[in-house]
Amino acid sequence: MQILYDNGSRNFWIHGTGALGCLPQKLSIPRKNYSYLDQNGCLKTYNRAAVAFNAALGSLCDQLNVELKNATVVYT
């Protein structure tokens, strides 16, 4: 983003990640125990990691809104 900003970009749209624990790639792995699944049948640990990642990304976007003058950073 810094390079884009330095070259004149002023509007940024940053996407968080979705529910990684619901990806077919992750759900297709055979397992002996299904206690890893949430009420929707998705893997809890991957979804918790996605929530933590999105929280950190949202904080970073807030910080960038302060640091990059005349720029708009939108976290979605």
Q: How far apart are CA 18 and CA 24, in angstroms?
A: 13
**Look-up: residue for tokens 């397992």?**
31
Least confident of 25-34, 50-59, 61-70: 25-34
CB contact at 8 A, 54 and 15: no
pLDDT at 31 over 90: no
Element (H, E) at 47: helix 44-67
Q: Mean pLDDT score of the chain, rounded to an integer?
A: 95
Domain residue ranges of the chain, discontinuous segments joined by +? 2-75
Q: Could you list the beta-strand ranges (E) of 15-66.
A: none
CB contact at 8 A, 37 and 44: yes
> What residues are paired with 12 via a beta bridge?
73
Element (H, E) at 65: helix 44-67
